[in-house]
Amino acid sequence: MFPIHRPRRLRRSETLRSMVRETSISPQNFIYPVFVTYGKGVRKEIPSMPGCFQESVDMLVENVCDAWRLGVPAVIIFGIPEQKDELGSGAYDPDGVVQKAVRALKDSLPDLVVITDVCLCEFTSHGHCGVVADGETLNDPTIELLAREALTHAQAGADMVAPSDMMDGRVSAIRKILDDNGFQHIPIMSYAAKYSSAFYGPFREAAESTPQFGDRRSYQMDPPNSREALHEAALDMEEGADIIMVKPALSYLDVICRIRERFDIPVAAYNVSGEYSMLKAGVKLGWIDGDRVMMEVLTSIKRAGADLILTYHAKEAAALLNG
């Protein structure tokens, strides 16, 4: 009791504080999300996400080489195809934009961990994450297409696949097709607890994937739920997920924490587009110190229990951490 206990004693100098610091972040914790598009020499900044771009494969390779030099070990690729159709066929085209990006990145940076987002929404004309009939997004026909998509990613050389669609049973469908085709060694990072969130707004502009009707509430999770997140994570683990993800991160730190306590496999969290855009908007208005808020945000996600953080800040945070 006071005056015997004075927690301030260990806060007196930066050296002391650094000795008792409980959480540290490093570029090794980061996965850098990138948007690849068709064409050559294309680098279009995404208006609501300053510092993020839609890039053609050639420009993407340059960008990712910079990230790699800064110590960022992994990227996750999202594709914007030239054409979209009802069944999202660009997603499982062996020569699609994502598959091309995977090959180019592995050629230039063989040690980079190339992760692919497995979903149909960027490739469907209606913008939903699956096969649509009578206004419903169908589960079982969708997982067949997702499995095909994941296989083409692995065949192109992807080191890991990350299904983000929230269909039931997609992890086991992907595990099976990978195993049947000699890709037993390719891990699956599942978006296990992915909420139906308004924080994805800027991403949908970036990926041109806004649903043309309705919303994603019949497949993504209802934001008030957290026990359900444990159930989703347990199912994905049983189906063979190697890493489980919570998304978004900041409004769901409690979910990250509960999942971390319950399960012993690596946990990832996605610091999503809306979180990034709000921070950048605050900086633009001169209302917050961008570097400090960014580090506080990333540290909070790690402190909540995430081992890996998918973040658009990957490069700038790595540069800051490298001093």
Which residues would be at the binding site for ligand PBG (CB under 6 A)? Answer: 117, 119, 121, 129, 164-165, 200, 203-204, 209, 216, 272-273
Question: Between residues 196 and 226, which has the closer beta carbon with respect to ligand PBG?
Answer: 196
Least Cα distance to 248 among 228, 226, 272 occurs for 272
Question: Between residues 117 and 236, which has the closer beta carbon with respect to ligand PBG?
Answer: 117
Supply the minimum distance, in Å, between the C-beta of residue 200 and ligand PBG: 4
Residue of minimal Cβ distance to ligand PBG: 203
315 catalytically annotated: no
Least Cα distance to 253 among 296, 304, 203 occurs for 304
Question: Between residues 64 and 272, which has the closer beta carbon with respect to ligand PBG?
Answer: 272
Supply the minimum distance, in Å, between the C-beta of residue 12 and ligand PBG: 40
106 catalytically annotated: no
Cis peptide before 211 (omega within 30 of 0): no
Question: Between residues 165 and 232, which has the closer beta carbon with respect to ligand PBG?
Answer: 165
Q: Write the CB contacts of 195 (distance below 8 Å, at least 6 apart in sequence).
A: 220, 221, 222, 223, 247, 248, 252
Catalytic choice (100, 106, 176, 194): 194
Query: How many other β-carbons are positioned within 10 Å of the β-carbon of residue 225?
Result: 14
Supply the minimum distance, in Å, between the C-beta of residue 78 and ligand PBG: 7
The helix or strand, by DSSP H or E, that contains position 301, with its residue range, turns out to be helix 290-304
111, HSE (Cβ side, Cα atoms, 13 Å): 7
Query: For residues 97 and 152, is the Cβ–Cβ distance under 8 A?
Result: no
The pair of three-digit structure tokens given for residue 177, joined into one six-digit string: 């097709």
Is the alpha carbon torsion for 153, 249, 320, 36 positive or negative?
Answer: positive
Catalytic choice (84, 100, 247, 302): 247
Supply the minimum distance, in Å, between the C-beta of residue 268 and ligand PBG: 12
Supply the minimum distance, in Å, between the C-beta of residue 132 and ligand PBG: 14
Q: Which residues are catalytic?
A: 194, 247
